[in-house]
Amino acid sequence: MRSNLKAQRGLNLIEVIIAIGIGVFISLMVVQYMASSSRLFQRQGADSNLEQNAIFAVSRLTSYVRQAGSRIDYGTDVPFYIGPCGSHDPCTGDGVGTASLTDVSTSDTVAVQMHPDDGLDCTGAVLPSGSQLANVFYIAASTEAAGINSLYCRGYDVTENAWLSAAGVALIDGVDQMQVLYGVADANEQIYSYFDAARVPDVGGSAIQGWDRVRAVRIAVLVSDGFDSDTEDLDVRSYQLLDGPRLSITDRVNRRVYSTTVAMNSKLL
């Protein structure tokens, strides 16, 4: 009986402490693994959203830029609207449709001028018969999510000098910056340099001549996932878009710069 009781005695204090320590260590490892897996899953989701936003923003912009100047006769008007827009929203402070801005906190604005085949602007608003359209693309704060910028578009009736809708429409969230350069061709139809919107009118001696020599457009956008996802460490990150000023942002949002060069279909010979 004594032998059986001795064999069945419990753990001593040292053994209990060791068992608790091992249990705590295993628990911490499991918690750390779960936290790492959760952050990795969150990061993958943010990266996926970022890629989708970039693809949509770039494809939408390139689709319209390719049509710049379509059904507009040479010498009568230019592929990008550079005139006043009446009210200054979403045009620049001086009311210019297409503009290149140098303020680090602002993006370029591009107003694609055309006669649309379907009679609709980029928001689906109906353009009056016979009018000329400028689809104005710009970056502004999202009306749906605080702290997020979006790519907007708004149609402007150049003929009637009036906006086609009461406000612009957000095409995609998570587009923080946009910079645009215009490729100007020489007499041999070879692009010899890319200029920002402020310098294009000077290359031809007049606004019409300069803008009518544009054959391609370079577009760069700074894109995030469209959410304040906090997937990055809090740090200062710098971004450079074409010839625009260097932009520094301090937050936990993952961003990337995407760029493309678009040939204008209406100007191909």
- The tens digit of pLDDT for each residue in 89-122 reads 566 555 556 666 545 557 888 889 888 888 899 9
pLDDT band at 269 (very low <50, low <70, confident <90, very high): very low
pLDDT at res. 4: 54
- Residue 151 CA from chain centroid, whole number: 6
CB of 112 closer than 8 Å to CB of 134: yes
Q: How confident is the model over 145-161, as a mean pLDDT? A: 86
- The tens digit of pLDDT for each residue in 23-80 reads 777 877 777 766 665 555 555 556 677 788 888 888 889 988 888 877 665 445 678 8
* Total Cβ atoms within 10 A of residue 22: 10
Rounded to two decimals, what is the model's pTM? Answer: 0.76
* Total Cβ atoms within 10 A of residue 194: 19
- Structure-block tokens of residue 66: 């390719």
Closest to 259 in 3D by CA, of 219, 227, 224, 210? 219
Q: Which residues pair with 238 in a beta bridge?
A: 248
pLDDT at res. 74: 47
- Structure-block tokens of residue 248: 């520094």
Rounded to whole angstroms, how far apart are CA atoms 67 and 253? 34
Scan for tokens 């645009």, then name that residue. Answer: 180
User: CB within 8 A of 211, min separation 6: which ones?
Assistant: 78, 79, 80, 82, 182, 200, 201, 204
- The tens digit of pLDDT for each residue in 181-239 reads 999 888 888 888 898 888 887 776 666 677 888 889 999 999 887 665 566 677 788 88
Query: CA 204, 206, 211: angle at the middle one, nearest 5?
Result: 65
Domain ranges of the chain: 42-267
CB of 223 closer than 8 Å to CB of 258: yes
- More confident: 36 or 254: 254
Closest to 175 in 3D by CA, of 239, 135, 221, 236? 221
Q: How far is CA 264 from CA 12, 80, 89, 132, 217, in A?
A: 83, 11, 26, 18, 8
CB of 127 closer than 8 Å to CB of 121: yes
- How many helices (H) and strands (E) the chain has is answered by 4, 11
CB of 42 closer than 8 Å to CB of 176: no
pLDDT band at 131 (very low <50, low <70, confident <90, very high): confident
pLDDT at res. 226: 62
